[in-house]
Amino acid sequence: MNKSGYNFKDDQFKDVSKILKDLPKVNAPDNFEYNLKVKIDNNNFGLSTGNEKTFSWWKVFVPASGLVAASVFSFFFFSNSSEKLENPFQLQPILRTEISSNILNATGLGNFLNESYKINDNDVVVETITKPEPTTKKNDLVASEVKSYSLAREKVVLPFDTSNSTDLDAAIGNKNNRRNIDRRASLANAGSPNASFNGFYLGQEVDKKYVEAMKARIDSLKKNYLIKRQQQRAGAIK
Amino acid sequence: MKKKLIGLTDEELIKEFQDNNTIEAYEILVNRFKDPLTNYVFRFLGERDICTDIVQDTMIKFYIHKDSYKSFAKFSTWIYTIAGNLARNELKRRKRRVIFSLTNDDPEKQVQIEDKAFVSPERATDSEIKGELVQKALQKVKPVYREVVILRDIQEFSYEEIAEMTNLSIGTVKSRINRGRKHLQKLLKNIYSG
């Protein structure tokens, strides 16, 4: 910076500087030192011009969010709700046989089967763990629940025809084609005692009369369709 | 003991206070700087009562944080920096609140707020009235300019010292001083002739 330039500007404002210099000096009050000493002796170091407390959203937001988080945490982990809450890490998984027997009971077929299908020596038997009525408290540990389980043996009706088995390799290689064209595949019928299973499809005896009737119906529909189409074409040409 | 200390410089006194916790050294420094600081803060803020509080707070801070003073700097620079910071803080606080003062605190002196148009040239020569007008004009100057103008023209510090107090470059200090003086010149053009 050019020093002479600033000095020149000092001269330019000489009058202003003089006015300011001539201002009367303002002194501290007479009791200034006394008051100061009193403050120091009393360790009163709180400043008279202390900082005003300014409102900050963070001062509200941070503790409030902490409180909400703590409430949520305590609710989910420490609540003693009357409802039975299933903890998937504490319950024994339901066995597949258990599920199937539940389905049988729900459909009403279970009783029928139980009467018809008493357990014989050659029958397929599955041992299942049945869960009794809960006598323990809801929040008991897993160990106490496991002890009350009981072992049951029951026969399970499987949708398999053990007399009709299929060699997989032969079926793929088409060497032993035992397929009966009259035997159409259908959905597995777990309840039907007449269902046969060849390893892939659940075969079913077909009613020939029914088939003939359906075929005739299809033929008549086709014939009607063709006649209509011819009529439309003839109408269009005219 | 005090007689020995009176002859010491400011830097020697503060060192004595730091090393030996000599309260007399502190009292001498308070006595030396209370008036200049009061004058500086009053010219900056324009209020008598609050300026006394600020200077008191400055001395208290000086007492508490005496060890933060480093001997390579001038003591006057250090203590004026503290006072300037407190004065600026007070100014910021003022902006956040509106103060309505209907009465004058000093019962003996009646200050009448006058319109400029009613100030006759004869009355303008009265030094007391002139001082008030100059003070009012100073209050109209921007604080950043006002501060450095007061330090230069009233407190008579050098540009280097002012730069150290305000933590600005010398160029900025000079620039602000000139702008402040220019504005003040405009405001005082009616009374400074002659």
In this prediction, residue B84 carries a pLDDT of: 95
Q: Pick the more confident residue, B47 or A158.
A: B47
Nearest to B40 by CA among B95, B79, B98, B94: B79
Model confidence at A141, pLDDT cuts 50, 70, 90, reads: very low
Phi then psi for residue A189, to 5 deg, are: -110, 95
Question: Does A26 contact B174 at a Cβ distance shorter than 8 Å?
Answer: no
Question: Is the pLDDT confidence value at A53 over 70?
Answer: no
Chain A, nearest residue to B91 by Cα: A49
Question: Is the pLDDT confidence value at A219 over 70?
Answer: yes
Question: Does B60 contact A39 at a Cβ distance shorter than 8 Å?
Answer: yes
Nearest to A205 by CA among A176, A223, A181, A169: A181
Model confidence at A2, pLDDT cuts 50, 70, 90, reads: very low
- Structure tokens belonging to residue A101: 């027997």
State the Cα–Cα distance between residues A63 and A57, nearest whole angstrom: 11
Angstroms from B149 CA to nearest CA on chain A: 9
For chain A, give the mean pLDDT. Answer: 68
Averaged pLDDT for residues A211-223: 92
Out of B42, B54, B192, closest to residue A26 by CB: B42
Angstroms from B117 CA to nearest CA on chain A: 21
Instruction: Give the C-alpha distances (Å, rounded to integers) separating B133 from A72, B12, B106, B130.
Output: 65, 40, 19, 5
Angstroms from A57 CA to nearest CA on chain B: 18
Cβ distance B96 to A52 under 8 Å?
A: yes
Question: Is the pLDDT confidence value at A153 over 80?
Answer: no
List pLDDT tens digits, range B80-126.
Answer: 999 999 999 998 888 776 555 555 555 555 455 545 444 555 555 56
For chain B, give the mean pLDDT. Answer: 85
List pLDDT tens digits, range A192-214.
Answer: 555 565 666 656 677 888 889 99
Question: Is the pLDDT confidence value at B29 over 70?
Answer: yes
Out of A6, A28, A40, closest to residue B52 by CB: A28
Question: Is the pLDDT confidence value at A146 over 50?
Answer: no
Instruction: Give the C-alpha distances (Å, rounded to integers) separating B61 from A13, A73, A102, B19, B108.
Output: 36, 47, 84, 17, 33
Q: What is the DSSP letter of A23?
A: S
State the Cα–Cα distance between residues A107 and A109, nearest whole angstrom: 5
Question: Does A16 contact B185 at a Cβ distance shorter than 8 Å?
Answer: yes
Does this model's pTM top 0.90? My answer is: no
Out of B51, B153, B174, closest to residue A20 by CB: B153
List pLDDT tens digits, range A83-106.
Answer: 555 666 666 666 665 555 565 555
List pLDDT tens digits, range B129-153.
Answer: 788 889 999 999 999 999 999 999 9
Model confidence at A3, pLDDT cuts 50, 70, 90, reads: very low
Angstroms from A63 CA to nearest CA on chain B: 27
Nearest to B41 by CA among B10, B86, B75, B74: B86
Chain A CB contacts of B35 below 8 Å: 25, 27-28
Model confidence at B35, pLDDT cuts 50, 70, 90, reads: very high
Question: Is the pLDDT confidence value at A181 over 80?
Answer: no
Instruction: Give the C-alpha distances (Å, rounded to integers) separating A6 from A2, A20, A35, B163, B164.
Output: 7, 19, 44, 15, 19
Nearest to A29 by CA among B13, B98, B37: B37
Chain B, nearest residue to A16 by Cα: B185
Q: Tell how far CA A217 is from the center of its chain.
A: 49
List pLDDT tens digits, range B7-23.
Answer: 899 999 999 999 999 99
Angstroms from A51 CA to nearest CA on chain B: 8
Q: Which helix (H) or strand (E) holds A97?
A: helix A96-107
| Range name among A3-17, A68-82, A198-212, B100-114 with the lowest pLDDT average | B100-114
Chain B CB contacts of A40 below 8 Å: 60, 63
What is the percentage of chain B residues whose pLDDT exceeds 90? 65
Question: Does A20 contact B150 at a Cβ distance shorter than 8 Å?
Answer: yes
Cβ distance B48 to B101 under 8 Å?
A: no
Averaged pLDDT for residues B178-193: 83
State the Cα–Cα distance between residues B59 and B82, nearest whole angstrom: 9
State the Cα–Cα distance between residues A165 and B116, nearest whole angstrom: 119
In this prediction, residue A143 carries a pLDDT of: 43
| Range name among A26-35, B71-80, B92-101, B177-186 with the lowest pLDDT average | B92-101
Q: Pick the more confident residue, B143 or A176.
A: B143
Interface of A with B (CB under 8 A): 1, 6, 9, 13, 15-17, 19-21, 23-29, 32-33, 35-36, 39-40, 45, 47-49, 51-52
The complex scores an ipTM of: 0.78
